[in-house]
Amino acid sequence: MRVLAALSGGVDSAVAAARAVDAGHDVTAVHLALSRNPQSHRTGARGCCTIEDSNDAFRAADMLGAPFYVWDLSSEFQEKVIEDFISEYAAGRTPNPCLRCNESIKFEAVLDRAMALGFDAVCTGHYAQIFQGPNGAELHRAVDPLKDQSYVLGVLTAEQISYSMFPLGDSTKVEVRAEADRRGILVAAKPDSHDICFIPDGDTAGWLSRQIESVPGEVIDAETGNKVGTHAGAHAFTVGQRRGLALGNPTGDGERRYVVDVDVKNNVVMVGPPVLLDIDLIEAIKPRWSGPIPANGSRIHVQIRAHGEALPASVHIGDELVTIQLDEHLRGLAAGQAAVMYDGTRVIGSATISRSRRSASV
Amino acid sequence: MAYLDHAATTPMLPEAVAAMTELLGKPGNPSSLHASGRKARRLVEESRERVARSLGCSSAEVVFTAGGTEANNIGVKGIAWDQRNRDPRRNRIITSAVEHHAVMDPVRWLGESEGFEVTWVKPDSFGQITPDALRSALGEDPTDVGLVSIILANNEVGTINDIAALTAVTREFGIRFHTDAVQAPAWLEVNFSQLGVCAMSVSGHKVGGPHGIGALVISRDCHVTPLIHGGGQERDVRSGTLDAPAIVGFATALEITSARKVETVARVSALRDDLVRRVREIAPDAIYNGSVTDRLANNAHFVFPGCLGDSLLMLLDAQGVECSVGSACSAGVPQPSHVLLGMGADEDAARSTLRFTLGPDSTQADVDALINALPSAIDRAKRAGVPKITTAPVRV
């Protein structure tokens, strides 16, 4: 097969491409330039954005004998990932930019272009597995539970999965590092990427405050309706958050208070005792299915954070809304995050959480 | 493999390789006072005379640099600073919108960091700077102009400027004129004294010489504030140990290129014309950029509508045909061509370019290879399309 390998400049994508070469594929490497300002040299790695990463990717491709190119997707990344990230926060939601990037950049813009240019598949260093099932290609969890990235790939459609290649899904990170070392890949010891690649210092709140106008507003007690404090800008708060509230007077019972709701429209942050965070019903929109759509009432597991637990639940699919009834209640869930649904290790699909609440039964 | 990117760099001539490598293991710093030093010095001075003969200047006017970019930086910053030091009113630089980055970026830097005023002259639709355009850039009172820098032959679209006609415009005002001639000596008769400029940049590896060597030809009466301070080896304009082997390689290549020029130009321009004709047969919608008459003999430059230049380059590369998108890269990312934008093309066109540049050793087989590979490349690149730019492009 003619395979387009996306090389970030890190260990994982380099080993993934090496395995594709070993499997006999005709591999061409591309590094995705996602940053508008790539002139920065930083130590370490966050998976994209620096000239250093681009050079590391070139060196890895060269070792594999793969032609190497840089594809400029900074415009698409700016529009579909960064601006989406800002507008979601501005709307009081908590987005996951890695999912958006996989959905609209890596497995859409890049995949589409690769197909048009005559490639048969796109290969990345994601930790996930693809198996051929009765209904075509299936996306499954990686064998390494610590590295499993099926959650951020939950936005892939069945068609996108059928053109994808994840050679690392059957290995642990320890094995991949050892293999990189054995192969003489120079970045074998490079640290893992973390956090959000376009916020280099990791200070998301500070970065957002420079993008979104902060208007001070009131902090309201959700139980009494009383004003209990002020905030510098509602978008900086996430449901479930406790720190940074700076509320002077404690509650009557001395219990800690959490953000239980963020009402950006009225610029109000609602706080309350943790019991108000308990939910068991998730409503989600914009579903993306990785295979056949499950029947109503299907028993599934749902994961709502990149490294969260898979929670048993049942699912109902309406015209626009996917409703997920959890078996047990859950504390603190922010709108905007993705709910990724699993059948065992297989990814069923994902949807964006729009609302969560307590069902009558709790 | 068909190498059609000679404007980026062209292989060293075997004679230049032999002349240079013979010296690499020998002792002698041209500035040393002993016998080995004198021998190295003699090689440098002989080379300087050979370079001067090839470029129509006197040997005292040749200042060796570490390449074309350094020569351009000295020619732009060094002259602009000197002129302003002599007369603080001379605070304006005139240059064109289609310069190489090695002129454009120093000028922009002088504007942003050194307080110079910059006037960017727009070329005509062929990429040419007309005397009228320069005259209007000078304005009614050109006494504030310290430097004009206009490229001799454009590196992207191959358009040749009539530098002598342009210096005729500035001469009466005593304005210093620099030209970036890096692409010129391989294909044109370049005669420094006839151009009327006071400084001219050339480069070794564009004429079959080694990389990392070039020269700024500076007329005797033109003063320059140095950029690099040190031993003052080159007229105090440029410091650094002289690279005798590279200088000998450069002089050898330039001399041979000059001697063979008439024959090379006739043969290569016929090949280029064949290439252009056949590309247009394959892609009738392709736009041939630049001038037909005032053009480097080895250059063919197209816009392929609906195809990202980037995609075409990769597809042709996979079939062993090597060319260029023609524009500068930032961290390996091709930027929309500022030359095409300067010539009035839109952003999509400026990202859909491909430059084919032939060399003295190019053959009919190279052109045939391109013609065989191009139809499927265009087909696929069209399918991949040109993604629309939704946000402001990175500054070029």
- Binned at pLDDT 50, 70 and 90, residue B391 comes out as very low
- Binned at pLDDT 50, 70 and 90, residue A36 comes out as low
Does residue B113 sit at the A interface (CB-CB below 8 Å)?
no
Cα–Cα distance between B43 and A84 in angstroms, integer?
A: 64
Judgement on whether residues B44 and B141 belong to the same structural domain of the protein: yes
Look at residue B114 and tell me whether its pLDDT is greater than 50. Answer: yes
Judgement on whether residues B45 and B155 belong to the same structural domain of the protein: yes
- Which of B325, B329, B333, B390 has the highest number of chain A CBs within 10 A, making it the mutation to test binding with A? B333
- Is residue A280 within 8 A of residue A323, CB to CB? The reply is no
Look at residue B329 and tell me whether its pLDDT is greater than 80. Answer: no
Only one residue has tokens 């001539």, namely: B13
Where does a domain end: B255, B281, B303?
A: B255
Look at residue A322 and tell me whether its pLDDT is greater than 70. Answer: yes
Judgement on whether residues B268 and B240 belong to the same structural domain of the protein: no
Judgement on whether residues B250 and B284 belong to the same structural domain of the protein: no
- Select the residue of A69, A71, A116 nearest B383 (Cβ to Cβ): A116
Q: Does domain A278-357 have CATH number 3.40.50.2020?
A: no
Considering the domain boundaries, does residue B215 fall inside one? yes
Other beta carbons within 10 angstroms of residue B363's beta carbon come to: 12
Whichever domain contains B347, its CATH number is: 3.90.1150.10
Considering the domain boundaries, does residue B133 fall inside one? yes
Orientation of helix A51-64 relative to helix A11-22, angle to 10°: 20
Does residue A314 sit at the B interface (CB-CB below 8 Å)?
no
Judgement on whether residues B273 and B251 belong to the same structural domain of the protein: no
Count of the separate structural domains present in chain B: 2
Where does a domain end: B255, B275, B295?
A: B255
φ, ψ of residue B319 in degrees (nearest 5): -100, 15
**Which pLDDT tens digit goes with each residue over A83-117?**
999 999 888 888 999 899 999 999 999 999 999 99
**pLDDT higher at A243 or B61:** B61
Only one residue has tokens 């922009």, namely: B108
- Binned at pLDDT 50, 70 and 90, residue A24 comes out as very high
> Among B295, B328, B359, which Cα is nearest to B153's?
B295
Where does a domain end: B226, B255, B284?
A: B255
Residue B203: strand pairing partners: B214
Judgement on whether residues B268 and B355 belong to the same structural domain of the protein: yes
Q: B139: Cβ–Cβ under 8 A, 6 or more apart, which residues?
A: none
Task: Please classify residue A149 by burial: count the beta carbons closer than 10 Å to its beta carbon, then call 0-12 exposed, 13-18 middle and 19+ buried.
Answer: buried
What's the topology of domain A214-272? SH3 type barrels. (2.30.30)
Judgement on whether residues B75 and B111 belong to the same structural domain of the protein: yes
CATH code for the part of the protein at A2-183:
3.40.50.620
State yes or no: is B329 an active-site residue: yes
Residue A52 pLDDT: 81
Judgement on whether residues B269 and B246 belong to the same structural domain of the protein: no
Residue B389 pLDDT: 57
Mean pLDDT of A321-349: 94
Q: Which domain holds residue B193?
A: 14-255
Judgement on whether residues B223 and B333 belong to the same structural domain of the protein: no
Considering the domain boundaries, does residue B165 fall inside one? yes
Mean pLDDT of B185-191: 97
Whichever domain contains B201, its CATH number is: 3.40.640.10
**pLDDT higher at A190 or A138:** A138
Does residue A211 sit at the B interface (CB-CB below 8 Å)?
no
Residue B334 pLDDT: 72
Task: Please classify residue B395 by burial: count the beta carbons closer than 10 Å to its beta carbon, then call 0-12 exposed, 13-18 middle and 19+ buried.
Answer: exposed
Judgement on whether residues B25 and B167 belong to the same structural domain of the protein: yes
User: How is A125-171 classified by DSSP, letter by letter?
Assistant: --SEEEEEETTEEEEEE-S-TTT--TTTTTT--HHHHHTEE-TTTTS
> Among B150, B105, B154, B155, which Cα is nearest to B130's?
B150
Residue A252 pLDDT: 60
Amino acid letter for position A156: L
Other beta carbons within 10 angstroms of residue B219's beta carbon come to: 18
The answer to whether the Cβ–Cβ distance between B334 and A109 falls below 8 Å is no
ipTM entry: 0.86
Mean pLDDT of A296-322: 94
A267-281, B204-218, B330-344: least confident range: B330-344
Mean pLDDT of A312-324: 95
- Is residue A14 within 8 A of residue A187, CB to CB? The reply is yes
**Which pLDDT tens digit goes with each residue over A234-286?**
888 888 888 777 776 555 666 788 898 888 888 999 998 888 889 999 999 99
pTM metric for this prediction:
0.89
φ, ψ of residue A92 in degrees (nearest 5): 85, 15
Judgement on whether residues B182 and B116 belong to the same structural domain of the protein: yes
Mean pLDDT of A184-207: 79
Which of chain B's residues have a Cβ under 8 Å away from the Cβ of A76?
A: 387, 390
Which of chain B's residues have a Cβ under 8 Å away from the Cβ of A78?
A: 390-391
b/e sequence A84-105, b meaning 16+ C-beta within 10 Å: bbbebbbebbbbbbbbbbbbbb
Cα–Cα distance between B312 and B324 in angstroms, integer?
A: 9
* H or E, element range at A331: strand A322-331
* H or E, element range at A63: helix A51-64
Cα–Cα distance between A179 and A160 in angstroms, integer?
A: 28
- Is residue A346 within 8 A of residue A296, CB to CB? The reply is no
Considering the domain boundaries, does residue B389 fall inside one? no
- Select the residue of B310, B332, B389 nearest A54 (Cβ to Cβ): B332
Counting runs of H as helices and runs of E as strands, what totals does chain A give?
9, 17
φ, ψ of residue B376 in degrees (nearest 5): -70, -35
CA distance B17 to chain A (A): 27
State yes or no: is A48 an active-site residue: no
* Domain map (residue ranges) of chain A: 2-183, 214-272, 278-357
Residue A209 pLDDT: 85
Residue A334 pLDDT: 85
> Among A34, A103, A36, A111, which Cα is nearest to A73's?
A34
Cα–Cα distance between A214 and A204 in angstroms, integer?
A: 14
Residue B277 tokens read as 């004709």
Greatest C-alpha distance within chain A: 69
Amino acid letter for position A256: R
Mean pLDDT of A149-176: 96
Residue B391 tokens read as 């946000």
> Among B290, B251, B274, which Cα is nearest to B62's?
B251
> CA dist A77 to A5, A91, A186, B152, B301, Å?
19, 20, 28, 39, 30
